[in-house]
Structure 1
Amino acid sequence: MAKSSKRRAPMWARLCAIFGCILMVLSGGALVTGQVVLARYAGAVETKPLLGGDDAAAAAKAADIKGAQNILLVGIDPRTDTQTPLSDSIIVVHIPQSMDQAYIFSVPRDLVVDIPSFDKTGFRGGRSKINAAMGYGSALGNGKHDPAQGFELLAKTVQQLTGIDGFDAGVIINFGGFKKIVDAMGGVTMKIDQNVKSEHLQPNGKPRPRLSRCADNTCEHPYYGPQAEYKVGTYHLQGWQALDYVRQRYGLPKSDYDRQRHQQQFIKAMASQALGKDVITNPAKLDKVLKAAGDALVFDGNGHDVVDWGFALKNVRANNMTTIKLPGRGVIENGKYQGEALDESAGEFFKAVSEDRLPNFLFNHPEYINKES
């Protein structure tokens, strides 16, 4: 991991997360790449009814993308169709009615919530960590699981938590594909704000050995041996380094809350680089990035493709993107960790999101704004 120059890397983007990569060729990028590339890319992105609607019905009733919008982004580990998918990263993007800003907040994966019932799997509802919702909704009844179907229950759970009246778009990103996007861009330059040791990988990027007695995943920390380390500073990271860094939470002072901040910082750095001239004006690199993104994503635009969304959000600019940190705490019962709970003020925040009045809320609660915004 080579140290970069001391000049701070740009930390802004058009939208957010993986969606930032989807949109990187749109708006300004569209002036360079043209309609042929846009059409080819839109066709390469897999689309499924993640939000529970029917593709044909959604397309038939789709109107112009106008007014306040809410987008749900979910990151999952690569798994076979016989394994239960878990949402390792849950991000909500709120676009206000003016459609010239973006507010991004992460929902803690261990947040204890009420998960609603789900007829498709016979799940009767219950209280659990929110990242289990995708698993409860994914079962197909034949021993196989469909993350897209699980996304629907997760979306309903997040809606119930936040009071958001339905999401306008949804995205699933496969973390294995995420790494390929970064590698296709030639790595990503980002600021690391605290020293982090990898739970999973060695300094050379290979997996750390696992203790044999923990092969059945009964140990919380089953790995041993040398660890990859990420030091405070600004670095140019390879795909495996970037993905490894933003997934770490063990050993961090604020655990998953630190990880959420790192993910949001990486989101900005990645999308900023994707929008840079080194990618946009380099046809070979651009084609690799588009292909990698197309292979890594599943998208539901409620009747609109990624090109429609890109042009609808063309006025979202660098300085109008704000990342949010939700305050929370660990829940301990009888000496055992049960999960996370949000502070009471989060209810006011969610109400401000659903009523599209976040600027006023953030003015009165500046502690919700991440310092990097």
Structure 2
Amino acid sequence: MVAESVKPRRAPLWARLAAVSGVVLMLTSGAVFVTGSALITRYTGAVDADGRLFGSASSGRRGAEDIRGPLNILLAGIDPRDEHTAPLSDSIIVAHIPAGMDQVYMFSVPRDLYVDIPPFAPTGYAGGTAKINSAMSYGSATGDGRHDVRQGFQLLARTVGQLTGIQDFQAGAIINFGGFKKIVEAMGGVTMKIDMTVRSEHLQPSGKPRPRRPECADNSCAHPYTGPQKTYRPGTYHLRAWEALDYVRQRYGLPHSDYDRQRHQQQFIKAMAGQALSKGVATSPSRMLAILDAAGDALTFDGNGHSVLDWGLALKDLNTDNMVSIKLSGGGVYAGDTYLGEKLADGSEDFFEAVREDRVQEFLLAHPEFVNRNS
């Protein structure tokens, strides 16, 4: 929120470069920053302090020099929802930045992970066991028939913290997949490597929605669509915005279902971050401003009292080539023949401990099976 009713002057090039770096950081981590109070709607050189994501009070405006590693950032991706619909976090990603602040380790939390969700007083939720993507839903009700994704993120953060032992996230972001498409459009699409054949559940080759089978008009079918499917084949391609968003959302028909989708999302984030910081994008003021405007529609960002610009400056040495994608394996949880969700494989607790103690590199050297080789 700009304090005075004057049109803000355009930031200098170095500031806009840093702001783009901050946006890339948000996209890299995936969701809502956990402990602060600064809601960024678009970069204007100012901070709007009305959009707290975790209900905590701001500790006052600080500078980039106060952002020190190690850092853990939580991101949640959601489908477009109106305020009368409970949100679900369809994508949950944690980005760990070591003390040296020159590298990023990304790991996804499976959306169907069957976990204990803690009690949440603001909604009267007593706690229980459910899929982790429902935590945001249980925490979002405002008591008047409406839902607040920022409030829901508080419970999601507590749930992820309970799962991983990471009690404090230094930043967080919520990304709306519908608005996210605008970011990719502003970038002119994204070039990335596709590592397996993926068929779209939702779209035809033209990008138009696939028709529904007549008997599925009431949304009672698990797979209601029929007709030709958009197909993505192995190779390196320049994806248009709708193709990119469609590709990273697919899980049906993949050998490892959501685990393959998690890998594809991480591959896409790395490709997009590298492209956003490339000379062709970062040195074009018009393209940078278009990306920032699009990000304003797609992202809710909480940087613990720091602006996007602060984060961009603090992470100026971050190299997108040093992004490491982590693979957390798992399997199904059943009650008799009833599928309840997923559980993480043995060894995941040891990885979380390495994150908490900022020794991820040492852990991966001893356990290379945790690294996504195709990223």
TM-score range normalised by the length of the shorter chain? 0.7 to 0.9
Is the 8 Å Cα contact of residues 68 and 99 (structure 1) preserved in structure 2? yes
Q: 1:19 aligns with which of 21, 26, 36?
A: 26
Equivalent residue for 1:348, pick from 347, 350, 375: 350
Question: Which whole-Å deviations, capped at 9, do the CAs of 1:225-275 have from their partners, x for residues lacking one?
Answer: 111111111111110100000000000000000000000110011111111
- The verdict on how the C-alpha distance between 1:47 and 1:310 changes in structure 2, with shifts beyond 3 A counting, is farther
Q: Contact conserved, 1:112 with 1:128, CA < 8 A, in 2?
A: yes
CA–CA separation in structure 1 for the residues paired with 2:197 and 2:47: 38
After superposition, the Cα gap between the structure-2 partners of 1:18 and 1:355, relative to the gap in structure 1 and judged at 3 Å, is closer
State the alpha-carbon separation in 2 of the partners of residues 42 and 223 from structure 1.
46
Instruction: Assess if the C-alpha contact under 8 Å between 2:194 and 2:234 holds in 1.
Output: yes
CA distance in 2, matches of 1:344, 1:234: 34
Aligned equivalents of 2:27, 2:247: Cα separation in 1:
19
CA distance in 1, matches of 2:157, 2:316: 25
1:21-170 → structure 2 map (5 Å cutoff)? 40-41=43-44, 43=46, 48-54=51-57, 57-59=58-60, 64-170=66-172
In the TM superposition, what are the counterparts of 1:290-301 in structure 2 within 5 Å? 290-301=292-303
SS in 2 for 1:218: coil
CA distance in 2, matches of 1:219, 1:17: 37
- Aligned-residue offset at 1:21: 7.5
Deviating more after overlay: 213-222 vs 108-117? 213-222
Matched with 1:9 is: none
Q: Secondary structure at the match of 2:106?
A: strand
Q: 1:221 to 1:205 in 2, by over 3 A?
A: same
Shift of residue 344, structure 1, vs aligned partner = 2.0
Deviation at 1:46, TM superposition (A): 8.9
Tell me by how many angstroms 1:332 deviates: 3.0
* Alignment match, 1:256: 258
- Deviations 1:133-192, CA, capped at 9 Å, x for gaps: 000000011111011110010000000000002111010011011111111111111110
Q: Which amino acid aligns with 2:368?
A: P
Aligned to 2:125, the other structure's residue is in SS state coil
Structure 1-normalised TM-score? 0.87
Whole-angstrom distance in 1 between the partners of 2:278 and 2:108: 26
Aligned partners of 2:113 and 2:342 also within 8 Å: yes
The CA deviation string for residues 59-85 of structure 1, in whole angstroms up to 9 with x for no partner, is 368881113111001110011100110
Query: What is the percentage of aligned positions where both structures have the same residue?
Result: 61
**Structure 1: stretches of 5+ with no match in the other structure:** 1-12, 23-38
Does the Cα contact within 8 Å between 1:203 and 1:227 map onto a contact in 2? yes
How many residues align? The count is 343
CA distance, structure 2, for counterparts of residue 45 and residue 273 of structure 1: 28
Q: CA deviation at 1:218?
A: 2.2
SS of 1:58's equivalent?
coil
1:339 aligns with 2:341: yes
**Residue in 2 that maps onto 1:318:** 320
Q: 1:193 to 1:41 in 2, by over 3 A?
A: farther
The aligned counterpart of 1:281 is 283
When residues 49 and 305 of structure 1 are mapped into structure 2, their CA distance, relative to the original with a 3 A threshold, is same
For residues 243 and 326 of structure 1, what CA distance do their matches in structure 2 show?
Answer: 23
* Structure 1 residues 291 and 82, CA gap change in structure 2 (3 angstroms): same
Separation in 2, partners of 1:233, 1:120:
48
Change in 2 beyond 3 A, CA 1:212/1:246: same
Once the two structures are superposed, residues 335-368 of structure 1 have per-residue CA deviations (whole angstroms, 9 ceiling, x without a partner) of 2322110012101111111111111111111000
* Aligned AA (1:291): D
- TM-score, normalised to structure 2's length? 0.86
State the AA in 2 paired with 1:19: M
Q: Does the residue aligned with 1:332 lie in a helix, a strand or coil?
A: strand
How far did 1:214 drift? Answer: 2.7
Q: Is the 8 A contact 2:47 2:307 kept in 1?
A: no
Q: Indicate whether 1:200 and 2:238 are aligned.
A: no
Question: Is 2:306 the counterpart of 1:304?
Answer: yes
Deviation at 1:308, TM superposition (A): 0.9
SS of the aligned residue for 1:326 comes to coil
Q: Which secondary structure does the structure 2 equivalent of 1:361 belong to?
A: helix
Q: Is the 8 A contact 1:246 1:266 kept in 2?
A: yes
Q: Write the deviation string for residues 269-322 of structure 1: whole angstroms up to 9, x where unpaired.
A: 111111112212222222211111121110111111111111111122134221
Shift, 1:217, TM fit: 2.8
**Which ranges in structure 2 are unaligned for 5 or more consecutive residues?**
1-19, 30-41
Q: C-alpha distance in 2, partners of 1:372/1:52? A: 39
The verdict on how the C-alpha distance between 1:15 and 1:194 changes in structure 2, with shifts beyond 3 A counting, is: farther
**Kept after mapping to 2: 8 A contact 1:117/1:125:** yes
